[in-house]
Structure 1
Amino acid sequence: MSDSCQQEEDYFDLLPDPILLLVFDKVLDAKSLCRCLLVSKRFASLIPQLDSISIKIGTPRKKSDGALRKLRTGSSNNLVNTLICQFIAKPLQFLQHLAMMKSDSTSENGDLNYVHWMTKYLKNFSEVRFLQLELPSRGSEIGGKDTPFLKWTAEFGKELQRCVILQANSFEKRENTCNSTKIDEEEFHQNQSVLLSNDDLKTRIIWIITCVVTASARHSLLKKLVTDCPELRNAVITDSSKQWKLSMKEDQIRELRNEMNSSSCSASQMSQRTCVPDLVMRLYYVRELELACSGYAMKGATLVAIRSASLAEERDGDSFLKGCLGGREGGELLAEAAREITRRTDKTVYKVEMSSF
């Protein structure tokens, strides 16, 4: 065998380190990058230098699920399978369901179960500046049959600063007709605003509080990221279904880090829900909402803009809403909904203040 065949040329060795870092920077996925660490010493020395990573935590598969599947698909006769399914598999499922309910009800913050996964990946990256964390979706986490569509985004510093919530009683996909559909201005101005009933308003206040509390509980994960990543400048936490998003920018991370250093937070304090500050909010309601660019139509659309009372007051309601949305951080759907509801003359606006809790 010739020497050329024995020593194949490694094209990666010909690439300079800055080019390799650009390649790895496009990968983002922390799990894939951790596998690349094992390829060579050179990779192992370069990958920890990356400043942007994404951590996606999947739903863990329970061993009991596999056991029940084997019981159902065994090779024995149908009678035995039926008996096993009725008297063993289903009771096991019921007990498992009770255990999960008990675990959820006794855990102050279920998201803390993901901390060890975060630590597992983050220990390999010492210079992370931008981090995106995706958690498993728990289905329709907030809401239910009365809120078929619910989407929210929140910004934090040492506490909740801004939050925008979009809810609708119905949510349908329409043909995308962006820039081709114009509203009949005469019909537009003839619409009359509709007041919500007391029961409807109370229902919306309840799920607003639920969203705010949920966001404050998950703030503990942002605290963990700030602690483990000393160079962090931007952090985003979302769920796989994109129902919600928490974010922190550089000045907000600096504020949180200063607060944590000054108060010397213990591990138990970091895991606790962050107190909700005094809040000022505006609730916008329209009976029907067409989002031509996104291609959706909503009925009973409610948009809520929330900000901490400690932030500078914005007297103009429209600028208040846009300030809470935080530009593109709110996502395309929220941004379009904010634009459309702001320009509507038939919108109903409620102003609400909420004390810290």
Structure 2
Amino acid sequence: MDRFDQLPDSLILLIFNSLSDVKALIRCRCVSKRFNSLVPQTESLLLRIDRVISSESDSDSPLLTLLKSFLNLIFPKASSAQLPSRSHTYPAQILSRFQRIRELHLELPAGDLYLEKGTVVKWRAEFGETLKTCVIFGFRLGNTGNNGNNVNHEAEFAGGLKTRVMWTISSLIAASVRHFLLREVVTEHEGLEKLVLTDREGEGEVVVEKQGLKEWREARGSHVREEEEKEEERGRTVVPSARMRMRHEPRLGATLVVVRAVKDGAQIGREADVEDADLAFKAFGSGVYGDAVRELLKVRSYLLEMNSF
């Protein structure tokens, strides 16, 4: 018996939880019988998906199909060749080897949005059974708002409204598709307390906390067969009716959108500003994005309403 064998199981599990990477942990199972029995008890996991393969066909993912339809309505000249051909798979089979997952972080190989060159859009969405909130930050590189001169903010805002609405809807569709992909994991791992799905490009993040996971499980347990079939056909979670508070700063060429589901309520006046600030800093509170968010929160906001889709 070597000295490593004298370590208690709890300490080894602490090491495995710090390691967290699923691929590395699966390799650890080959080290010894003891490791093989302990690895499935790891509670904190990171699953990096190197490439995304459809288990049924090589057809477009639900997100790409929806985006193509949406883009054809707004930009008739946009061709399907401009959209990446990619489809999604489910991580449930890999994670079925682990028995006690409490915190799970999944990372996709790339983002989902189709954007013109020089445009950057980032988003963070919180879910339960369906969308609760989503914060979207977008800007165009090199856009300085008429070289920093005074402009009519309302005219400038209205002029680019179609593009900003497109950014918002595209982000919400991407978030709802990612949320849908997680449903089997949530069902099979009842001890899960936090679930995060990101992509390697840092484009978007879906977060489901403990209370949201509880709501989601209860809702799935009460779904009738017809509702489940509609979800499968749609390929994503329904985005509920929501209120969007949009801010745009021409000097920065940047836009901040805070989306809240209507059923979760939406404040007005000073209370709305405080809620927006809390959500925005939670999503983009550090670094250069944090500085931009601070500036955007100072400008006038515009309230838009959106039906469920």
**Structure 2 length normalisation: TM-score?**
0.79
1:158 aligns with 2:118: no
The letter of the residue matching 2:99 is: S
Runs of 5+ unmatched residues, structure 1: 1-8, 62-98, 173-189, 289-298
**The residue matched to 2:98 in structure 1 has which SS?**
coil
Provide structure 2 residue ranges, at least 5 long, that are not aligned to the other structure.
67-84, 144-148
Residues of 1 paired with 2:62 and 2:210: CA distance?
Answer: 35
1:203-282 equivalence runs, <5 A: 203-264=163-224, 268-269=229-230, 271=232, 272-282=235-245
Answering whether residue 279 of structure 2 is matched by residue 307 of structure 1, we say no
Classify 1:221/1:269 alpha carbon distance in 2 versus 1 (closer, same or farther; 3 Å): same
1-structure distance, mates of 2:196, 2:51: 19
Cα distance per residue 1:43-99 (max 9 Å; x no partner): 1221111111000000269xxxxxxxxxxxxxxxxxxxxxxxxxxxxxxxxxxxxx9
Rounded Cα–Cα distance in structure 2 between residues aligned with 1:267 and 1:46: 36
CA drift of 1:252 comes to 0.7
CA distance in structure 2 between the partners assigned to 1:192 and 1:23 by the alignment: 57
What does residue 295 of structure 2 align with? 340
- The secondary structure found in structure 2 opposite 1:356 is coil
Classify the secondary structure of the residue corresponding to 2:218. Answer: helix
**Secondary structure of 1:142's partner?**
coil
After TM superposition, the runs of 4+ consecutive aligned structure 1 residues lying more than 6 A away are 109-112, 190-193
Q: How does 1:1-357 map to 2 (within 5 A)?
A: 9-59=1-51, 103=60, 113-115=88-90, 118-138=91-111, 141-145=113-117, 148-170=119-141, 194-195=153-154, 196-264=156-224, 268-269=229-230, 271=232, 272-288=235-251, 299-315=252-268, 316-325=271-280, 328-330=282-284, 332-333=286-287, 334-342=289-297, 344=298, 347-357=299-309
Q: Which amino acid aligns with 1:300?
A: G
Letter aligned with residue 355 of structure 1: N
In the TM superposition, residue 320 of structure 1 has moved relative to its aligned partner by 2.7
Query: Once the two structures are superposed, what CA deviation does each residue of 1:182-211 show, in whole Å capped at 9, x if it has no partner?
Result: xxxxxxxx9777222534111111221111
CA distance in 1, matches of 2:208, 2:254: 27
- Contact 1:280-1:354 at 8 Å conserved across structures: yes
After superposition, the Cα gap between the structure-2 partners of 1:103 and 1:51, relative to the gap in structure 1 and judged at 3 Å, is same
Are the aligned partners of 2:63 and 2:173 in contact in 1 as well (CA < 8 Å)? no
How many pairs were matched up? 277
| RMSD of equivalent CA atoms | 3.0
Alpha-carbon distance in structure 2 between the residues aligned to 1:335 and 1:129: 30
Mapped partners of 2:189, 2:177: distance in 1: 20
**Percent of residue pairs bearing the same amino acid type:** 32
Q: One-letter code of the match for 1:119? A: A
One-letter amino acid of the structure 1 residue matched with residue 286 of structure 2: E
How high is the TM-score relative to the length of structure 1? 0.69
Q: 1:171 to 1:220 in 2, by over 3 A?
A: farther
Q: Secondary structure at the match of 1:324?
A: helix
Distance in 2, Cα, partners of 1:270 & 1:39: 42
**Take 1:106 and 1:341, find their aligned partners in 2: how far apart are those partners?**
29
Superposed CA offset, 1:293-351 (max 9, x none): xxxxxx311011110011133222321313433x5455635544333322x3xx24211
Q: Deviations over 1:7-49 (max 9, x none)?
A: xx52220111111111111111001101111211111221111
Equivalent-residue separation in structure 1 for 2:229 and 2:119 (angstroms): 36
Structure 1 residue 217: deviation in Å? 1.8
Larger radius of gyration: 1
Q: Distance in 2 between matches of 1:270 and 1:128?
A: 26
Q: Secondary structure at the match of 2:304?
A: strand
* Partner secondary structure for residue 39 of structure 2: helix
Aligned AA for 1:353? E
Question: What secondary structure sits across from 2:195 in the alignment?
Answer: strand
Residue 56 of structure 1 contacts residue 135 of structure 1 at CA under 8 Å; is this kept in 2? yes
Helix, strand or coil at the partner of 2:250: strand
